Amino acid sequence: MTGDYSIETPDEAMRMEGVRVFLRSFREESESVEEWLQGFVRMLVDAGLAHMLVAVGAGGGAGSGRDRRVVGCGALIGFVRTAWIAFMGVEPDLQRRGIGGAILDELMRLARGRGYATVRLDATDLGKDLYAGRGFVAEHPAGMYEIPAHCGPGPEGGPPVRLDEELPEWCLALDREAAGDDRSAPLGAVLADGGKVLVVEGEGFGILHGRKVGPVIAKSVDAAVAIVRRGGSLGANRVYVTRRSDLDERFVAGLKEMPPRSGLGCCTRMAWGKPLKRNPGLEFAAYSAATG
Ligand SMILES: CC(C)(COP(=O)(O)OP(=O)(O)OC[C@H]1O[C@@H](n2cnc3c(N)ncnc32)[C@H](O)[C@@H]1OP(=O)(O)O)[C@@H](O)C(=O)NCCC(=O)NCCS
């Protein structure tokens, strides 16, 4: 218990309320985003890839239908050696009372219990200090960029991009090198949710999911640019760029950085635990489910 709140593994109805709380914490009120994110979270949980926790307070009536109210949520998404913390959010009027910290402590207990040596996350400015206080170290910024409308199929002379339903083995191997872990299960879940693969043969891949492109994993900036442009020509309008210090600026040259909403400055990638052996230079963009 934290004050009047307990941290619990939710049933389906409370989990869906948790998603609503998460979206409210980001001042996101769109019903279509809510529906999409609820479906996505349900799929991750059903596939055993995510474990969600909610903070529940007495009274209020809204939420679980059992006169108890969901006021915060967070989830642990497991890969093989590493885990991610995602979907952290607390009702706006109940923030800074220790609820988010209590959820985080419980998620970390879960991560340690499951043997994950490394836990990573993307923190907003509001969350950054909370994570730093629990031993997370900042790696680099990341930010959402707009892909301009009517993006063509690629610059003249750019490599051709093929659309595929599945990730070929060489792409999974490249992803393992980039991430330092095997992400085939969560990437497979994104494809099962309607994601499509954009491939530059032998050079790299991206995933088009909803109106976003990410991750983009590539050996060259030309391939990465071609993947994003092709995603744009197929209707994507956003890409979540990992702004490492050595990022080739040509990757973002045709994109427009999106201003953070409601002061929710986004984002700082942070890591806890054992440093990962990986090749970050291959990662141009990351996957982001946070706002649909
Ligand atoms: C980020 C977020 C999940 C944190 O949840 P929270 O319940 O506000 O977190 P806590 O109250 O446990 O801790 C937040 C801060 O309040 C402080 N705090 C905790 N209890 C407190 C109390 N009783 N009185 C005053 N301050 C308190 C904590 O020390 C912490 O300070 P710090 O950030 O300087 O370390 C929440 O602010 C939120 O939903 N933000 C909007 C969405 C978002 O940014 N999500 C995070 C994605 S990474």
User: Quick check: 9 pLDDT over 90?
Assistant: yes
Q: List the domain range (segments joined by +) for residue 108.
A: 5-116
292 located within any domain: no
DSSP string computed for 119-145: EEEEEEHHHHHHHHTTT-EEEEEEEEE
Cα–Cα distance for residue pair 122/74, rounded to 1 Å:
13
Say whether both 258 and 201 belong to one domain. yes
Band the pLDDT of 67: cuts 50, 70, 90: low
Q: Are residues 165 and 256 in the same domain?
A: yes
CA of 100 to the centre of ligand 1 (A): 6
Domain match, 94 and 147 both: no
**For position 13, which CATH number holds?**
3.40.630.30
How many Å separate Cα 86 from the centre of its chain? Answer: 7
Predicted confidence at residue 203, as pLDDT, reads 98
> Is a pLDDT exceeding 70 seen at residue 55?
yes
173/254 same-domain check = yes
CA 128 to chain centre: 16
| Residue 228 identity (one-letter amino acid) | V
- Determine the distance separating the centroid of ligand 1 and the alpha carbon of 251, expressed in angstroms: 34
Question: CATH code at 158?
Answer: 3.40.630.90
- The answer to whether the bond into 171 is cis (omega within 30° of 0) is no
- At a CB cut-off of 8 Å and minimum separation 6, what does 206 contact? 197, 198, 213, 214, 215, 216, 217, 218, 224, 227, 228, 231, 285
Residue whose Cα lies nearest atom 9 of ligand 1: it is: 100
Residue 26 Cα to ligand 1 middle (Å):
13
The number of the ligand 1 atom at minimal distance from the alpha carbon of 101 is 12
> Is 127 domain-assigned?
no
- pLDDT class for 15, splitting at 50, 70, 90? very high
If one counts the domains in the chain, the total is 2
| Candidate from 21, 95, 264 with most ligand 1 atoms within 8 A of CB, to mutate | 95
Q: Do 147 and 282 belong to one domain? A: yes
